[in-house]
Structure 1
């Protein structure tokens, strides 16, 4: 796999000394996971030494018995894998079992998936979220426990005052600002937009980019109102969308766990993620509509030639309304996810579906989804559990990955 470095033991591990040396080798290599092939049945001595020395997640790989007809056991690999699993459970070391021949496509898919998931968990420990401002007024439901986040995922938080964003935006080079404005204008057709809106949107885009570089930020949660509108005279939707386009996942309304959910999906897929509200569900068609003001990454547009750059559709006409990118999203399989902070922990919600052709006349950015599960069931679960209104949508079905992600971290998951 691309981006994966292998650290191999020096031959088959058959003695306690082999296990100790392999553990030292893996620790020097700073590995993120161990792949242990169970060649035959053995006691738990070797895996105990290796597991305790390295203390990393373990993938146990067993192979089918070559033959069960008119012969003694040749390998007994599956039994050996069960011994390893039972030993690791008692040691409190996380593991997963894989079974099959090397050429088995299902085995390869399962292995690749686990590597992606464990890679995501590993890189989250080195990631930093930027909280710009705090949650928007009244958004108590997206408040978060910073140390619970740090304890669970290893992810750190950088607090950035809105004044720092405004200050950075106010000292930009005119040439850089002009180039950013031109890039924004090329993204869509303009309607009722002032030059000032382009200038301020460009300034905030550059400001967020610079702050990400300054503080080594991997994702943002931005308090996008009321201060942006009241003080900076701009709704920052375009800037939020542009940072996401560039691989810097950015959530609205100061939703930090929403930003973390976006980052998880991004790490698992390498794709941009759409931060949304669920605004409609229809029982007859088993569809729902997810939407936000105008922050979607432009790579999701159904028709890039029909993207509109318009004034904000929600803010009143008497207010400075800023700039939004408005379009319906393209079709394809999608996953809607929400990591929800519960009492003393987290729960992962993942909903699968197919993005279908939506209504292009709906203001803002939107996606119509035909769900795999009945909308009545989805609605019942979300309201029963008091799940937050914000979800992160990415193209591709990664429900299995999110379920496995949760399992490795000891997080409950609800997969729909």
Structure 2
């Protein structure tokens, strides 16, 4: 896989002044939280304030400029406002507004009042209510974890989910999509508005003509360098290529090498390819496994020049720090017997690493993969828009076994397919979806909170 995504989490412990409550108790709360933060899974780097303010705990508004500068200098991707007692909403709101990154709000569940004096030592939850109101007044979106102890599983899971949310937002707001060729004429459904993507979301599309693609792929084929040979051998090791032939396989490998280099050179997160019929006319092959291999390598790729589809795949892979591939599928037909199951299919572009253990992978004579995907929990998404309004469809399902078909495929089962079907027909969506193994719907829904003009459309 391509280098995974790392999130820098700036942790800002907050206390209500030096004398409102005990500093010692605030430090105890801070230590417990940081002890749990050390257990977080995923590519997360913790940035604390220990080197810039006393005890690493923010206690007064005069510290705000120092905290802002430190977090910005460290280029944090998200901020965690850790209430060590009631907290100080001015620090929470002003720092959150200035840094402008996803913001997490949490404070530990308080101990019981002293049995003899009745004194409470922190009133943390009370302060969370104050901070959340002021964040709304400042126009700062936020995520919160319910009031719990620092060693509760809900705290660890909440921080992990928030960091994955921050990864989706980070990638979305710096996204560049390589577009090779044009949409097939018959696919009016994959039209997109390039200017809107740039103005609304900062998503840049890097166009590359099919003629340029053809010339450079042919040059790579002619040179037959080590990368090409290694890639051909890798493909042969993964799947039966006997029906395809070495000359055609060399073209597929050259396409992969070229697109990977172009994506790196142009800082692109994803790619949309005019897979037919131009490539078949020019090269005599279909680039189905170009799409599959690139996605498997951490370069999310979409068929049929579907730029919105490529955007969706990049978001999905970011939810898992780009550590596993997605797959790009058609919603194709209903299961012949199961009313709540649907075929996820495409000609042959699914990553081979996702195949079922009992499926024997092969390339057909045109370069299309032939295998069934494994079973398990999956998340399905589609970024799309119409008339200037954009939303992200989000749903969770199970990949199941079902009737065999050609190409790459799996069947998915949902709770109520009729609701899904109506959503796709009436919403601004098409038959293309991006899919990833695992449950990431909550993360994608929360990410939309931090992306202006993108509505979460969860089923």
TM-score computed with the length of structure 1 as normaliser: 0.91
Runs of 4+ that moved beyond 4 A: none
User: In the aligned structure 1, how far is the partner of 2:311 from the partner of 2:426?
Assistant: 23
Q: Per-residue deviation at 1:287?
A: 1.1
The aligned counterpart of 1:317 is none
CA distance in 2, matches of 1:355, 1:39: 43
Does 1:329 pair with 2:373?
yes
Instruction: Check whether the contact 1:298–1:304 (CA below 8 A) recurs between aligned residues.
Output: no
Question: CA shift at 1:285, angstroms?
Answer: 4.8
- The separation in 1 between residues aligned to 2:386 and 2:107, in whole angstroms, is 37
For residues 175 and 44 of structure 1, the distance between their equivalents in structure 2, rounded to whole angstroms, comes to: 60
Q: Distance in 2 between matches of 1:42 and 1:306?
A: 59
Q: Which of 73, 77, 85 is matched with 1:32 structurally?
A: 77
- The structure 2 residue matched to 1:59, chosen from 97, 100, 104, is 104
2:355–2:371 Cα contact (<8 Å) kept: yes
**How far did 1:191 drift?**
5.6
Matched, 1:274 2:327: yes
Check 1:305–1:188 CA distance in 2 against 1; reply closer, same or farther (3 A cut). Answer: farther
Q: Which residue of 2 aligns with 1:255?
A: 306
Q: Distance in 2 between matches of 1:239 and 1:197?
A: 12
User: Following TM superposition, by how much is the alpha carbon of 1:257 offset from its aligned partner in structure 2, in angstroms?
Assistant: 0.9
RMSD of aligned Cα (Å): 2.1
Cα distance change on mapping 1:52 and 1:400 into 2, 3 Å: closer
Task: Kindly indicate whether residue 129 of structure 2 is the aligned counterpart of residue 82 of structure 1.
Answer: yes
Instruction: Say which SS state the counterpart of residue 430 (structure 2) adopts.
Output: coil
1:287 aligns with 2:330: no
Following superposition, the deviation at residue 67 of structure 1 comes to 1.5
**Residue 230 of structure 1 pairs with residue 281 of structure 2:** yes
Given that residues 383 and 390 in structure 2 are in contact (C-alpha distance below 8 angstroms), is that contact kept between their aligned partners in structure 1? Answer: yes
Query: C-alpha deviations, 1:236-263, integer Å up to 9, x for none?
Result: 1121111111111110000001001111
CA shift, 1:113, in A, is 0.5
Query: Which whole-Å CA distance do the structure 1 matches of 2:87 and 2:243 have between them?
Result: 74
Counterpart in 2 of 1:316? none
Inter-partner Cα distance in structure 2 for 1:146 and 1:106: 41
Report matched runs for 1:78-157 at 5 Å. Answer: 78-98=125-145, 99-157=147-205
Deviation of residue 152 (structure 1)?
A: 4.3
Mapped to 2, the partners of 1:174 and 1:78 lie a distance apart of: 65
5 Å-filtered alignment, 1:154-165, equals 154-165=202-213
**Take 1:168 and 1:15, find their aligned partners in 2: how far apart are those partners?**
60
Please report how far the alpha carbon of residue 42 of structure 1 lies from its aligned counterpart in structure 2 after TM superposition.
Answer: 5.5
**Preserved contact between residue 205 and residue 243 of structure 1 (Cα < 8 Å):** yes
Partner of 2:216: 168
Question: For residues 291-314 of structure 1, what are the alpha-carbon distances to aligned partners after superposition, in whole Å with 9 as ceiling and x for unaligned?
Answer: 000000000111376112113xxx
CA distance in 2, matches of 1:24, 1:309: 54
Q: 1:259 to 1:14 in 2, by over 3 A?
A: same
| Aligned equivalents of 2:213, 2:422: Cα separation in 1 | 40
The separation in 2 between residues aligned to 1:193 and 1:277, in whole angstroms, is 24
* Distance change in 2, residues 1:20/1:203 (3 Å): closer
For residue 197 of structure 1, report the CA deviation from its aligned partner: 2.4
Q: Relative to 1, partners in 2 of residues 1:48 and 1:268: Cα closer, same or farther, differing over 3 Å?
A: closer
For the 8 Å contact 1:188–1:305, the answer to whether it is kept is no
3-state secondary structure, aligned to 1:17: helix
TM-aligned CA distance change 1:87 to 1:376, over 3 Å = same
Task: Tell me the number of residue pairs that the alignment of Structure 1 and Structure 2 aligns.
Answer: 404
- Aligned-partner Cα distance in 2 for 1:69–1:119: 42
Q: Which residue does the alignment assign to 2:9?
A: none
Q: Secondary structure at the match of 2:150?
A: coil
Counterpart residue number, 1:199: 250
Consecutive unaligned residues in structure 1, runs of 5 or more: 312-321
Segment of structure 1 superposing worse, 254-263 or 116-125: 116-125
Per the alignment, residue 395 of structure 1 pairs with 437
Structure 1 residue 46 corresponds to structure 2 residue 91: yes
